[in-house]
Amino acid sequence: SVYFNVIIWYIFLFEKVLGFFPPSVEEISKDGKSWLVCTSCLPFCTCICLLSALHVLHFLPLPGSEIAVYEGDILLRRGRRSAINCDSCLWPKSQDGLVKISPGPLLFLAITERSWIADALQEISTLTCVQFVNRTTETDYVYVERGCWSYFGKIGGRQAVGLVKNGCMDKGAIQHEMNHALGFIHEQARSDRDRFVKIMWEHIVAGNFGKMNSKNLGLPYDYSSVMHYGAYDFSSTPGKPTIVPVPDPSIPIGQRDGLSNLDVAKINKLYKCNCCSSVLPKPKGSFSSVNYPSPYPNNSNCLWLIRIRRSKIFLQFEAFDLQRSSDCSSDYIKIYNGNSKSSPVLLDKYCGKGPLPSLVASGSTMLVEFASDESITATGFRASYNRGFNLKTQRYLAVRNICIPIDVHNSLHKQVLP
């Protein structure tokens, strides 16, 4: 339709300048203003006038409407193509060190749609210092609309972002669009992308695979980013990939399960957050306190988000030694049945050298929190997780989806049990 408009516009000019269809258009003066009047060939000229006006509105740089769509889902304003190289495109930090973004009312959405969005944004809030709060008096805020698109970085005022559409309801897809609003480009548009992927230009619908002069934050290229295109996105030829990882073409790209570990690190670095957060997205793995088995530092506060696709999570501690205190108010481990600190508690503050806890989440996410105060440390903990029972973890007392080993549960500190 753009090209059609251009053609119509030139027919209009041709007609007007050369009098190709005289006397179809003439200018008359009325109240000192110029008016275009179609005097003959009325239907044809009316059509041309309307299309031309639409064309002018669409292409002339008008204040507040300098918008172009880029790479399929990014709305760009003129002069804002420098990726995350734009300090004024970042959301401001409040005095408490948090970046607060008001998502605006979500009232027009169905309850399930709202819960998907809340879940996706909650994960960003849990792992970074970017917090989504209800709007009060903020003048700059995002406004959730239907669609699957976003502006790039903060543009000021009420800023729409499309989060609700088929194909845009995966947690990672919602986070993808919100990440654009936070100032992030597509991963495969990074300035150094040619070292990591090959763009298959011969299979591409034009215009979606440009490279940008990006600020890469000193962090590695991330195949598992929610900001990375999938191998077949925008392919012009069915079955032919548009992006191939190099040198190993089998590396998966384009996941939309949720923020990757590096996605979290990049948000925390761009916004100078003081957060110690990790994502554990593999079906099984292990993790430990900082410096383990050497003593963990004072004033440490770390989160691990375990996220397994379509599976329950089983977590077992293999070593545990934290400073003992009454109510475990000094150093502690706390575990949530979900992806945020507002999720139900699986294991309340736990410390000392007690029996090794084992737990199971009812869903596919589990959040582990570790905190230490300003004095006295210990060697810390080491834990492993997987998606199934094994012989070691079969003896469980299951209470409201909370599974505690039978020989452990009587001695847990502040354990949440009926």
DSSP 131-171: EE---SS-SSEEEEEESSEEESS--SSEEEEEEESTTS-SH
Does residue 187 carry a catalytic annotation?
Answer: no
For residue 233, state whether it binds Zn ion (rule: CB under 5 A).
no
Question: 203 among the known binding-site residues?
Answer: no
| Residue 379 to residue 296: CA distance in whole angstroms | 6
Minimum distance of Zn ion from residue 179's CB (angstroms):
8
Catalytic residue among 138, 177, 187, 369: 177
> Measured from the CB atom, is 73 or 331 closer to Zn ion?
73
Question: 176 among the known binding-site residues?
Answer: yes
> Measured from the CB atom, is 102 or 179 closer to Zn ion?
179
Question: 180 among the known binding-site residues?
Answer: yes
Nearest CA-CA partner of 264 in 209, 182, 321: 182
Given the rule CB under 5 A, which of 21-29, 65-73, 188-196, 362-370 is the region that contacts Zn ion? 65-73
> Measured from the CB atom, is 125 or 188 closer to Zn ion?
188
Interface residue with Zn ion among 15, 73, 113, 321 (CB under 5 A) is 73
Minimum distance of Zn ion from residue 155's CB (angstroms):
16
Given the rule CB under 5 A, which of 27-35, 72-80, 112-120, 392-400 is the region that contacts Zn ion? 72-80
> Measured from the CB atom, is 229 or 287 closer to Zn ion?
229
Minimum distance of Zn ion from residue 73's CB (angstroms):
4
Minimum distance of Zn ion from residue 12's CB (angstroms):
36
Residue 180's SS3 state is: helix
| Residue 112 to residue 184: CA distance in whole angstroms | 27
Minimum distance of Zn ion from residue 72's CB (angstroms):
6
Contacts of 206 (CB under 8 A, 6+ apart): none
Q: Residue with structure tokens 């204040």? A: 63
Residue number with the smallest Cβ distance to Zn ion: 73
> Measured from the CB atom, is 132 or 152 closer to Zn ion?
152
Residue 237's SS3 state is: coil
- Whether 415 and 409 have beta carbons less than 8 Å apart is answered as yes
Given the rule CB under 5 A, which of 66-74, 104-112, 213-221, 337-345 is the region that contacts Zn ion? 66-74
- Whether 126 and 118 have beta carbons less than 8 Å apart is answered as no
* Number of residues in contact with Zn ion under rule CB under 5 A: 1
Contacts of 333 (CB under 8 A, 6+ apart): 320, 322, 347, 349, 350, 351, 357, 368, 369, 370, 381
Minimum distance of Zn ion from residue 227's CB (angstroms):
7
> Measured from the CB atom, is 73 or 257 closer to Zn ion?
73
CB atoms within 10 A of CB 160: 18
- Whether 101 and 132 have beta carbons less than 8 Å apart is answered as yes
Structure tokens of 181?
């609003």
Given the rule CB under 5 A, which of 41-49, 70-78, 166-174, 288-296 is the region that contacts Zn ion? 70-78
Bond prior to 245 in cis (omega within 30° of 0): no
Show binding-site residues for Zn(2+). 176, 180, 186
Show binding-site residues. 176, 180, 186
Please give the positions annotated as active site: 177
| Contact positions vs Zn ion (CB under 5 A) | 73
